[in-house]
Amino acid sequence: MEKNLLLEFSTRRCSHCVMPEVKGHNDLDENGLCSLCRKELILPDESKQAQFNDMSSERKKEIFLKKMQRFKTDGEYDCLVAVSGGKDSIMTLYIAHEMGLRPLALFIDNGFALPEMYDNIRSAADKLGIEWLTYRTNRMKALFSHLLKSRKNIYYCRVCHIILESTIKDICKKYGIRLILGGYTKGQSYLKQEALSWIFEESDRNTLDVIRSVPELRYLEEMFTDPIKYSIKNYREIVQISPFKYLDYDEDMIIAEIHEKLGFRLPEHSWPAHSTNCSFNYVSQYLAVKQFGYSQHETEFSDLVRSGEMSRERAEELINTPITDDDLSVPLSQLGLTKNEII
Amino acid sequence: MKDKIREILLANIDELDGVDLTDDLELITGGYIDSFDIIGLISEFEDAFDISIPLEDLEVGQFDTVNSIEKVIRKFQN
């Protein structure tokens, strides 16, 4: 059996969720609790502010329906569903269809898509009678290659998401669509994730250094200088919503439902297990844990554990999905690189 | 000014319908609004208060409470 490279970085984890201890960024207290859990679990009830998540499921669903009506467009399509081919985005497409919306599904292949991603989108779109676009870009490969060679601390999923967001919104503008539905879970609400902000800041700074030093990448400079401001400047009218902010999230139920109705299947090999992340996610997660201590996956699972939507045991099992030398060498070979050249 | 800010928030953010929108209710950290809502809100505040919020001076965290939004608006009115 191949060695799990993540074991090189094994560390103490929060006794309540799965966040690892990272000195100065996520310290565990004498009870083994991380800062995220301390903030939410230890505060006395009277000092806790009201939160959106405190609302009843019915109320949240009403709000979701109201938002859909408010932002859907009157053109050929009501909304665009950004589909990765994973369970959450396929479920989002299903929800849009069940709500009577006329979505355009958009799949962006960053160059590292798994075959199952294509299969899942094709199957779902065919069964639901939804039109879909595939946009395969080589931008990511060119950028990743330069970034990897720099050996700087960079969170690659962050880089990919910034480019994907811009591409998705450009396509929305082309089709006159104002509303984007994305299948990100509560734990993937990045703005709320203070635990990720320092990682994003360092990663963006290093990414920008590389972009500025390579003439052919200079077109990305404004986008990476401040992604939020770039979005405000260029896509002010476009609204992005995830149904999972408003609807109860049950991973097993989602997988069972879309498997039965849409022929969805999980990839045989993906990180973490039971996800449909691209093959580059092995490299991204390995480097994130090595360079920063954790990534968006840990904070997402941590949130889901605290909200009761995932057990700690399940989160720990997923976070411990092995990453082997082979898992790194396959996506790296697509860039003509080896592990030794990037670490 | 705070009443007008509240009026804009309630008119544009469905999540705040029926919520006791106090001056220090945490809108972002409480999960009521996210970055995409802020993008839309900026235009509303600019129109309502006849100000221009330069992108280079924008900090998302400044939109977390009615109190902090008031500070942003007053800053750009002067």
Report pLDDT digits (tens) over A138-152. 889 999 999 999 999
Among the partner residues B15, B17, B58, nearest to A229 by beta-carbon distance = B58
Query: Residue A240: its chain B contacts at CB < 8 A?
Result: 36
Q: Quote the pLDDT of residue A287.
A: 97
The nearest alpha carbon in chain B to A230 belongs to B55
Among the partner residues B17, B34, B42, nearest to A63 by beta-carbon distance = B17
Q: Do B28 and A50 touch (CB under 8 A)?
A: no
* DSSP SS3 for A32: coil
**Domain assignment present for A198:** yes
Instruction: Give yes or no for A1 touching B (CB within 8 A).
Output: no
What would the two tokens of residue A212 be?
Answer: 């500025």
Mean pLDDT computed over B7-30 = 92
- Dihedral sign (CA A97, A75, A189, A6): positive
**Domain assignment present for A30:** no
**Domain assignment present for A174:** yes
**Domain assignment present for A52:** no
Structure confidence by residue, pLDDT tens digits, A224-245: 998 888 888 899 889 888 898 8
Q: Do A226 and B32 touch (CB under 8 A)?
A: no
**Domain assignment present for A229:** yes
Q: Do A231 and B39 touch (CB under 8 A)?
A: yes
CB neighbourhood size of A90 (10 A) = 32
Q: Which residues have C-beta within 8 Å of that of residue A172, sequence separation ≥ 6?
A: A80, A178, A180, A235, A238
Q: What angle do CA A271, A280, A308 make, to 5 degrees?
A: 35
Q: Quote the pLDDT of residue A74.
A: 83
Which residues 40-59 on chain B approach chain A with CB closer than 8 angstroms?
40, 42-43, 55-56, 58
Q: Do A70 and B14 touch (CB under 8 A)?
A: yes
**CATH value at residue A65:** 3.40.50.620
Domain containing residue A317: 57-336
Q: Quote the pLDDT of residue A47.
A: 61
* In chain A, % of residues over pLDDT 90: 68
pLDDT for residue A187 is more than 60: no
Cα–Cα distance measured from residue A128 to residue A118, given in angstroms and rounded to the nearest whole number: 15
Instruction: Give yes or no for A50 touching B (CB within 8 A).
Output: yes
CA-based nearest residue to A101, from A133, A129, A122 = A129
**Taking the model in full, what pTM does it have?**
0.87
**Domain assignment present for A156:** yes
Tell me if A261 sits within 8 A of A128, measured CB to CB. no
CATH architecture under which domain B2-14+24-77 falls: Orthogonal Bundle (1.10)
Query: Residue B25: its chain A contacts at CB < 8 A?
Result: 49-50
- Count, in order, helices (H) and strands (E) of chain A: 15, 5
Structure confidence by residue, pLDDT tens digits, A272-304: 988 888 999 999 999 999 999 999 999 989 988
Cα–Cα distance measured from residue A36 to residue A38, given in angstroms and rounded to the nearest whole number: 6
Q: Give Cα A265 distance to the centre of its chain.
A: 19
CA-based nearest residue to A32, from A45, A48, A21 = A21
Q: Quote the pLDDT of residue A193.
A: 65
How many structural domains comprise chain A?
1
- Among A70-84, A181-195, A207-221, B26-40, the range scoring the smallest mean pLDDT is A181-195
